[in-house]
Structure 1
Amino acid sequence: MRQLLSYGLFGVIFFHLFFPHNISAQSVDTVYFSLDMTEPISEGWLKHGTEIVGIRGDQSPLNWGNTFEASDPDKDGIYEVAVPFNLHSDSLLVSFKIKVDGVNNPDDGWQKGRNHEAMIYQGVKNKVTLKWADEPPQAPTTITGQVEIFRDFQSDNLVPRDLYVYLPPGYKESNQRYPVLYMHDGQALFDASEIGQEWRVDEAAEELIRAGEIEPVIIVGIGNTQNRFDEYTPTEQVWRYELNRISSQERTTFPEAFAGNYISTEGDTIRFKTKHDTLLTMIPGGQFWQPLIPESEHAFFLAQAGITFTFDVKETEVNQVVASKPTMGGDGDLYGGFIIKKVKPFIDQNFRTRPEREFTSLGGSSLGGLITLYLGLEYQDTFSNLLVVSPSVWWDGQMIISKVNELPGATNQHIWLDMGTAEGEGAVESAKALNKALLNKGWSKENLNFVIEEGAAHNERAWAKRVPDMLRFLYSKN
Structure 2
Amino acid sequence: MRQFFLPVQFGIVLLSLSITAGASAQTSDTLFFSLDMSEPISAGWFEPGSETIGIRGDQSPLSWGTTYPAFDNDKDGVYEAAVPFNLNADSLLISFKIKVDGMDNPDDGWQAGRNHDVTVYKGEQNKIALAWEDQPPQPPVTITGNVEIVRDFKGENLLPRDLFIYLPPGYQESERRYPVLYMHDGRALFDASEIGQEWKVDEAAEELIRSGEIEPIIIVGIGNTQDRIDEYTPSEQVWKHELHRISSTVASSISGVYAGDFMNTEGDTIRFKTKEDTLFVMIPGGDYWQPLAPKTKHSFYLPQAGITFNFEVSGGKAEKIIATKPSMGGKGDVYGMFILNKVKPFIDQNFRTKKGKEFTTLGGSSLGGLISLYLGLEYPDVFGKLLVVSPSVWWDGRMIIDEVNQLPGSSGQHIWLDMGTAEGEGAVENAEALQQALVRKGWTGQNLNFIIEKGAAHNERAWAKRVPDMLRFLFATEN
- TM-score of the pair, normalised by structure 2: 0.95
Name the structure 1 match of 2:145: 145
1:370 corresponding residue in structure 2: 370
Corresponding residue of 2:418: 418
Give me the whole-angstrom Cα distance separating, in 1, the residues matched to 2:335 and 2:315: 48
Q: Could you list the per-position Cα deviations for residues 52-85 of structure 1 after superposition, in whole angstroms to 9, with x for gaps in the alignment? A: 0001111111110011100001111100111111
Structure 1 portions without partners, runs of 5+: 1-5
SS state of the match for residue 197, structure 2? coil
Amino acid at match of 2:349: Q
Matched, 1:336 2:330: no
Report deviation, 1:20.
Answer: 6.0
Q: Residue deviations 1:223-274, cap 9 Å, x none?
A: 0111111111111110001111122352386321111221111122212111
The whole-number CA distance in structure 2 between the counterparts of 1:442 and 1:152 is 41
* Separation (CA, whole Å) in 2 of partners of 1:325 and 1:306: 6
**How is 1:243-322 mapped onto 2 (pairs within 5 angstroms)?**
243-251=243-251, 254-314=254-314, 316-322=316-322
Q: Does 1:129 align with 2:124?
A: no
SS of corresponding position for 1:295: strand
In structure 2, the partner of 1:464 is 464
Once the two structures are superposed, residues 184-234 of structure 1 have per-residue CA deviations (whole angstroms, 9 ceiling, x without a partner) of 000000011100110000000000000000000000000011111111111
* Aligned 1:233-252 pairs, distance under 5 A: 233-251=233-251
Amino acid at match of 2:2: Y
Q: Is the Cα–Cα contact under 8 Å of residues 18 and 286 in structure 2 kept in the other structure?
A: no
> Which residue of 2 is the match for residue 444 of structure 1?
444
Matches within 5 A, 1:21-420: 21=19, 28-251=28-251, 254-314=254-314, 316-420=316-420
Question: Which residue is 1:3 aligned to?
Answer: none
Contact 2:190 2:201 in 1 (8 A): yes
Q: Distance in 1 between matches of 2:107 and 2:42?
A: 17
Deviation at 1:9, TM superposition (A): 5.2
Letter in 1 for 2:112: K
Contact 1:116-1:136 within 8 A present in 2 as well: yes
- Could you say what secondary structure the match of 1:373 adopts? helix
Looking at structure 2, the residues matched to 192 and 287 of structure 1 have their Cα atoms a distance apart, in angstroms, of 37
Equivalent AA in structure 2 for residue 17 of structure 1:
L
Contact conserved, 2:145 with 2:168, CA < 8 A, in 1? yes
SS at match of 2:54: strand
> How many Å separate the matches in 2 of 1:42 and 1:284?
35
The AA in structure 2 aligned to 1:19 is L
Counterpart of 2:14 in structure 1 is 16
8 Å CA contact 2:39–2:132 kept in 1: the answer is: yes
Deviation larger for 462-471 or 9-18: 9-18
Cα distance 1:58–1:365, how it changes in 2: closer, same or farther (>3 A)? same
Question: Would you say the 8 A contact 1:28–1:86 is kept in 2?
Answer: no
Q: Secondary structure of the residue that 2:333 maps to in structure 1?
A: helix
Cα pair 2:13 2:65 within 8 Å, conserved: no
Q: Which amino acid aligns with 1:134?
A: D
CA distance in 2, matches of 1:153, 1:177: 23
| Cα distance in 1 for residues equivalent to 2:27 and 2:304 | 29
Following superposition, the deviation at residue 127 of structure 1 comes to 0.9
Distance in structure 2 (CA, Å) of the matches to 1:58 and 1:212:
34
Distance 1:63 1:460 in 2: 14
* Equivalent residue, structure 2, for 1:7: 2
- Runs of 4 or more, structure 1, over 6 Å off, are 11-15
User: Is the CA contact (8 Å cut-off) linking 1:27 and 1:88 kept in structure 2?
Assistant: no
Greater Cα shift, 218-227 or 308-317 = 308-317
Counting aligned pairs with the same residue, the percent is 68
The one-letter amino acid paired with 2:319 is: N
Does the aligned pair in 2 maintain the 1:9–1:266 contact within 8 Å?
Answer: no
| Inter-partner Cα distance in structure 2 for 1:255 and 1:11 | 26
User: Does the 8 A contact of 2:18 with 2:285 survive in 1?
Assistant: no
Structure 1 residues 362 and 26, CA, compared in 2 at 3 Å: closer, same or farther? farther
> Which one-letter code corresponds to 1:439 in the other structure?
V
Distance 1:26 1:74 in 2: 20
RMSD over aligned Cα, in angstroms? 2.0
SS of the residue corresponding to residue 154 of structure 1 reads strand
The superposition leaves residues 148-198 of structure 1 with CA deviations (integer Å, 9 ceiling, x where unpaired) of 000111111101100000000000000000000000000000011100110
Indicate conservation of the 8 Å contact 1:208/1:468, yes or no: yes
Given the two structures, how large is their TM-score scaled by the length of structure 1? 0.95
CA distance in 1, matches of 2:46, 2:148: 42
2:121 is matched by which residue type in structure 1? Y
SS at match of 1:160: strand
How far does residue 283 in structure 1 lie from its aligned partner after superposition? 1.7
Paired residues, number = 472
Distance 1:386 1:118 in 2: 34
User: Counterpart amino acid of 1:267?
Assistant: G
Q: In 2, are the aligned partners of 1:153 and 1:161 still within 8 Å (CA)?
A: yes
Match for residue 454 of structure 1?
A: 454
* Whole-Å separation in 1 of the counterparts to 2:417 and 2:406: 19
Is this contact kept in 2: 1:179–1:353, CA < 8 A? yes
Query: Structure 1: how far apart are the matches of 2:413 and 2:472?
Result: 16
Instruction: State the Cα distance separating 1:300 from its structure 2 match.
Output: 0.6
Secondary structure, counterpart of 1:294 in structure 2: strand
Q: Secondary structure at the match of 2:15?
A: helix
